[in-house]
Amino acid sequence: MTDDNFEPNIIAFTCTWCGYPSANLAGVNKIDYPANVKIIRVMCSGSVDPAVVMQALERGADGIIIIGCLIDNCHYVEGNKNAEERADRLKRLLNVLGLDSKRIRTEWINASERVKFANAMREFVDEIRELGPAPHIPAPKRKELTSEEIKKEISRIIEDTGAFDCVECGKCTSVCPVARFDTEFAPRTIVLRSMEGITDNLANDKDIWTCSTCEMCNSMCPYKVNYSGFIQGLRGTAMQLSNSPVCSQGGLIQSAIRIMAGADLKQNRLDWVTEDLEIAEKGDVFYFVGCLPHFDAIFADREYLELTRTAQSAVKLMNAAGIKPAVSNEERCCGHDLVWSGDEENFLKLMDKNLELVKNSGAKKVVFTCPECIRTFEMDYKDFAEDIDFEIVHISDLLVQLIDEGKLSLPSMADEIIATYHDSCRLGRHMGIYDSPRSLIESAGMKLVEMENTREKSACCGVSAWLSCNSAAMRMQLERLEEAKKTGAEVMLTFCPKCRIHLSCAANEELPFDRERVNIITKDLTVALAELLEGK
Amino acid sequence: MKENVVVIGAGIAGIQASLDLADMGFSVHLIEKTPSIGGHMAQLDKTFPTNDCSMCILSPKMIMCAEHENITLHTYSEVDSIAGDFPRFKVGIREKARYIDLNRCTGCGDCVAKCPSKVPSEFEEGLSIRKAIYLPFPQAVPRKMTIDAENCRKIKDNKCGVCLKVCQAGAVDYDQKGRIVELDAAVIVIATGFDLMDATALPQFGYGICKDVVSSMQFERILSASGPTGGHLVRPSDDKEPVNLAFVQCVGSRDAKNHLYCSSVCCMYATKESILATEHAPDVKITIFYMDMRAVGKGFQEFVQRAKKSHGVRYVRSRPAKVQQANGDNGVLVSYETPGMTGEPVSEEYDMLILCPALLPSSSTREIAKMLDMELDDDGFFRTPDIRYPTDSSKKGILICGFSGAPMDIPDSVSQASGVAARTAELLSGGDR
Ligand code: SF4
Ligand code: SF4
Ligand code: SF4
Ligand code: SF4
Ligand code: SF4
């Protein structure tokens, strides 16, 4: 590292039974170890939430060391094993992010092993000193808003989103999937409060985070109020008032995304690229992969989701049609989850980086598999940035076009599969893409059976932007799975990786009813199509 | 005799305009596309806010039209062409073949009794059937039969021919041809009225999906003593008397995705129909889902008050978003949000649901506008650009009254109609400023 004076900031999480006593004993015995280490005592190494580790790295720590009892000697039997497993997943994530997996370390030390403790600290500090500082992200700046300014800001949001036209008819609440299960939540009353100038509650209004931004209400509102836009606006303002959301995964994912908004990172986003895939550095067509590699690391315990296979499949399909797409290791998260969590500042940083990247690639067309990424480019980027002159296409539209032009042909399936298709809210209601996925399913020779709520009426997976994952969301997910199961389909196809993550989450819970009711495989449609090429 | 005036549309507005003009000495040609004059008002049971019998007001006016020496009726007729300018228009009227000699038919109805071809009755909004040879409703003017060629077995397939045999008057003529009548007209009055929006376009409200969801016009017929149920309040699915009724206002109107304007009469007629329903069946409980109670007019607010106080009508300020079949085949489940600050989504069961669909400028309005190359406003009504002459269209000598110019109720249509008559006299006496 170039900076010779760099002194790393190290956080050590020590368990109360072995880790902490060993540190204590090192002190009592006057055994030296570097002052860089700040010790935080926890009951068990297994109680260290990965989100806390991530947040520490985001906000100033350069290395994290977790110290627990010797394996098989955990006071809580398996706590340290859990910690180990989590640390492994975090390391994978750090690796993708380009933070270097060495920044996280686990050590299993007996209460009496004071020397081992001191040595471990010394070694770790040296190692991190060698690595240099982690790219810290300052906490978002808060403007000090006066109540007049808040009022003004809310008026602007009301104007911009057409909420001014709201007649308080309540259709939004009657169709809102969240309101159905969470009786405290009523979208109409949020508009009503804002319209009546009741703004003092914005600083602690939890309702604005409860909305899943599924746009069911947008599609129903007789006065075309852009309700999701209204919520997005309020969230941005609420953040200024330090009203922040409760994030699922403890905010781990938001932290990771914010890290992507920061400094130069030596990311490893392209590990999924296998030799058989033809990709380019520059070219007419850019494939924006999104955060599949990150989710693959975070949800490594659900290997069956095979998230990065989506990216591989997309490239395979494009290759089959003679397209060699550009993909980039420098890509950043599109920022969807930040803009919907009210963090406009970091969102804009991500946007600038991605737009610059696309520009430098010379692409005329950017292809997306992720419904959230395409929505973010098509709507949010276009909202915030002016010079977007490339075409934004979803893989489903692209494939349909390629098939129509005779450039791609999908071999038909040997045995006809019965499939149902889940319109994710982003691809469906937000983007209006309903037909291409269906036509692909049919050209692949599958038999498509529709769920009760489909297309514009499609039920949402319940969670968006990793917010408000709660019992209402869980019930929405189970209901959706049940709907899919009822069609008699063997598989539920979709394009949204997050829908699959959320739905798998619900299906893995302990259920008060027979699991068979919701037991259906979900599969990415891109993957299903690429499998045809492979003759599966 | 003074100049010719052509009145297009024989609803209450067209009828009133014709009578006033005829009384002033103009020679009026009243064109109506259906077999009888009368329009929608003939379908109504009562009128708000006094609950007067609609037909008792309308029927004498219809008869006066038929008998007035200055009025020529062209029923079952459509405008074929319009040319020229004020005050020398040329109007072509296409009198469709009704396969009946109007001079011979006595209206005895023997033919109807024997006709085997059954069709849903337009006048009864599909709630009962009529025959292929028919009188649209008992008080029809002219009281003469019409054969609807599309459903007549003789005309279509050369099969039946029964009516010819039973008709003692020799009025049936299967070979009758339509004809075009050419007229000069100094002024043209347009009174083409409204159509009900087809609520099947809004599947969220369950019309055409749930049996017990009806339109307000259908409900009007159910309430009518001369209607398909003889004035018994029963629901379609099982002919049982409903206990719990609900109305949904603004179905397709005040809706930026359908029709942004307010149809202007639904709040009041829903109130009227509620009061009538409780008079028919005193135990019935009524809920009206509304947006804003638009009770602007003499005695209107009091009328609403009366519905609330004396008839127990419950007004809920909310717009249901979903109507589903309740358990089984009968009744419906209505999902809406409770009004107020807490707002909870709830679902309630009702025995029957009445939709108040948007009232749209009629299809004839569009056809006539096209024929005349006249401007319609964004909502499809005729433009009446000069605020000083509210019945003047964008073309001189073509006057608008009633619903084809703007949503309005019966009294407003009638006063506009009289206004049109006065305006005609003014224009033709050269007194135009
Ligand atoms: S549906 Fe639209 S108009 Fe109705 S209350 Fe909700 S936001 Fe307002
Ligand atoms: S966007 Fe979806 S979750 Fe949010 S208020 Fe509307 S319907 Fe409810
Ligand atoms: S929105 Fe797209 S790019 Fe952003 S985190 Fe999600 S999948 Fe990744
Ligand atoms: S057509 Fe003949 S039978 Fe029929 S009503 Fe007229 S007169 Fe009577
Ligand atoms: S000829 Fe036509 S109108 Fe006459 S009885 Fe037969 S079906 Fe009816």
Sheet holding A447-448, edge to edge: A447-448, A418-421, A491-494, A521-524
Residues B206 and B354 reside in one and the same domain: yes
Joined tokens for residue A403:
């098939």
Residues B151 and B81 reside in one and the same domain: no
Give A184-234 pLDDT, tens digit per residue: 899 999 998 888 877 778 888 888 999 999 999 999 999 999 999 999 999
pTM listed for this prediction: 0.85
For atom 3 of ligand 5, the residue with the nearest CA is B133
pLDDT of residue A85: 93
Domain residues for B339?
197-358
pLDDT of residue A1: 45
Residues B299 and B219 reside in one and the same domain: yes
Q: What is the number of the ligand closest to the CA of A308?
A: 3
A221 CA from centroid of ligand 1 (Å): 5
pLDDT of residue A92: 93
Give A4-20 pLDDT, tens digit per residue: 689 999 999 999 999 99
Give A285-308 pLDDT, tens digit per residue: 999 999 999 999 999 888 889 999
Beta strands in B151-298 (DSSP E): 179-185, 187-190, 194-196, 213-215, 244-251, 285-290
Q: Identify whether B103 is part of a domain.
A: no
Residues B213 and B349 reside in one and the same domain: yes
> Rounded to an integer, what distance in angstroms lies between the CA atom of residue A10 and that of residue A39?
9
Indicate the pairing of strand A491-494 with strand A447-448: unpaired
Q: Identify whether B401 is part of a domain.
A: yes
Pocket test for ligand 4, best of B111, B164, B173 (most atoms within 8 A of CB): B111
Residues B41 and B150 reside in one and the same domain: no
Half-sphere exposure of B348 (CA within 13 A, CB side): 19
Give A109-119 pLDDT, tens digit per residue: 999 999 999 99
Numbered residues of chain B with Cβ closer than 8 Å to any chain A Cβ: 204, 250, 254-258, 291-292, 317-322, 335-339, 341-345
For ligand 1, say whether the CB of A168 is within 6 Å of any of its atoms: yes
Cα A115 to its chain centre, rounded Å, is 42
Kindly state the DSSP code that residue B351 receives in the 8-state scheme: S
For ligand 4, say whether the CB of B147 is within 6 Å of any of its atoms: no
> A189 and B319: CB-CB below 8 Å?
no
Find chain B residues with C-beta within 8 A of A169's C-beta.
250, 291, 318-319
Residues B237 and B377 reside in one and the same domain: no
Confidence band of A3 (pLDDT split at 50, 70, 90) = low
pLDDT of residue A202: 86
Single-letter amino acid code for the residue at A124: F
For ligand 2, say whether the CB of A261 is within 6 Å of any of its atoms: no
Contact between residue B217 and residue B258 where contact means Cβ atoms under 8 Å apart: no
Reply yes or no on domain A411-533 having CATH 3.40.50.
Answer: yes
CATH number reported for the structural domain that contains residue B419 in this entry: 3.50.50.60
For ligand 4, say whether the CB of B173 is within 6 Å of any of its atoms: no
Residues B12 and B44 reside in one and the same domain: yes
Q: Identify whether B173 is part of a domain.
A: no
Q: Identify whether B312 is part of a domain.
A: yes
pLDDT over 80 (residue A535) = no
Q: Identify whether B105 is part of a domain.
A: no
Kindly state the DSSP code that residue A412 receives in the 8-state scheme: P
Contact between residue B287 and residue B240 where contact means Cβ atoms under 8 Å apart: no
Q: Identify whether B433 is part of a domain.
A: no
Percent of chain A scoring above 90 in pLDDT = 75
Joined tokens for residue B37:
């004059």
Domain boundary among B331, B358, B385: B358
Residues B182 and B65 reside in one and the same domain: yes
What Cα–Cα distance (Å) separates residue A18 from each residue in A71, A80, A116, A123, B211? 11, 11, 12, 19, 72
H or E stretch at A64:
strand A63-68
- Do A265-403 and A411-533 come out as alike in CATH topology? yes
CATH number for the domain whose boundaries are A265-403: 3.40.50
Q: Which residues are near ligand 3 (CB < 6 Å)?
A: A 290-291, 333-334, 336-337, 370, 372-373
The CATH class of A10-131 is alpha beta
- How far away is chain B from the Cα of A483, in angstroms, using its nearest Cα? 17
> Rounded to an integer, what distance in angstroms lies between the CA atom of residue B366 and that of residue B381?
9
Q: Identify whether B140 is part of a domain.
A: yes
Single-letter amino acid code for the residue at B364: S
Query: Which of B209, B288, B337, B348 is the mutation pick for testing A, counting most A CBs within 10 A?
Result: B337
Half-sphere exposure of A288 (CA within 13 A, CB side): 32
> B256 and A188: CB-CB below 8 Å?
no
Residues B223 and B301 reside in one and the same domain: yes
Residues B203 and B284 reside in one and the same domain: yes
For ligand 4, say whether the CB of B66 is within 6 Å of any of its atoms: no
Instruction: Using the atom order of ligand 4, give the atom closest to the CA of residue B166.
Output: 3
> A169 and B204: CB-CB below 8 Å?
no
Contact between residue B48 and residue B271 where contact means Cβ atoms under 8 Å apart: yes
> B341 and A188: CB-CB below 8 Å?
no
Q: What is the number of the ligand closest to the CA of B109?
A: 4
- How far away is chain A from the Cα of B122, in angstroms, using its nearest Cα? 30
In 10 A of CB A214, how many CB atoms? 27
For ligand 2, say whether the CB of A473 is within 6 Å of any of its atoms: no
Per-residue pLDDT for chain B (433 aa), expressed as one digit of tens each? Answer: 689 999 999 999 999 999 999 999 999 999 999 999 999 999 999 999 999 999 999 999 999 999 999 999 999 999 999 999 999 999 999 999 999 999 999 999 999 999 999 999 999 999 999 999 999 999 999 999 999 999 999 999 999 999 999 999 999 999 999 999 999 999 999 999 999 999 999 999 999 999 999 999 999 999 999 999 999 999 999 999 999 999 999 999 999 999 999 999 999 999 999 999 999 999 999 999 999 999 999 999 999 999 999 999 999 999 999 999 987 889 999 999 999 888 889 999 999 999 999 999 999 999 999 999 998 999 999 999 999 999 999 999 999 999 999 999 999 999 999 999 999 999 998 866 5
**ipTM confidence:** 0.78
> A180 and B345: CB-CB below 8 Å?
yes
Half-sphere exposure of A398 (CA within 13 A, CB side): 24
Give the architecture-level CATH label for domain A147-240. Answer: Orthogonal Bundle (1.10)
Residues B341 and B206 reside in one and the same domain: yes
For ligand 4, say whether the CB of B202 is within 6 Å of any of its atoms: no
pLDDT of residue B184: 96
| Residues forming a β-bridge with B346 | B336
Q: How many domains does chain B have?
A: 3
A251 CA from centroid of ligand 2 (Å): 22
pLDDT over 70 (residue A393) = yes
> A475 at the B interface (CB within 8 A)?
no
Indicate the pairing of strand B345-350 with strand B179-185: unpaired
pLDDT of residue A96: 94
Q: Identify whether B156 is part of a domain.
A: yes
Contact between residue A288 and residue A361 where contact means Cβ atoms under 8 Å apart: no
Residues B211 and B318 reside in one and the same domain: yes
What Cα–Cα distance (Å) separates residue B119 from each residue in A304, B131, B213? 61, 6, 21
Find chain A residues with C-beta within 8 A of B257's C-beta.
222, 224
Which sequence spans correspond to the domains of chain A?
Answer: 10-131, 147-240, 265-403, 411-533
> B320 and A223: CB-CB below 8 Å?
no
pLDDT of residue A135: 85
Single-letter amino acid code for the residue at A201: N
Find chain A residues with C-beta within 8 A of B205's C-beta.
none
Q: What is the number of the ligand closest to the CA of A167?
A: 1
H or E stretch at A129:
helix A114-131
H or E stretch at A65:
strand A63-68
Joined tokens for residue A16:
């109360």
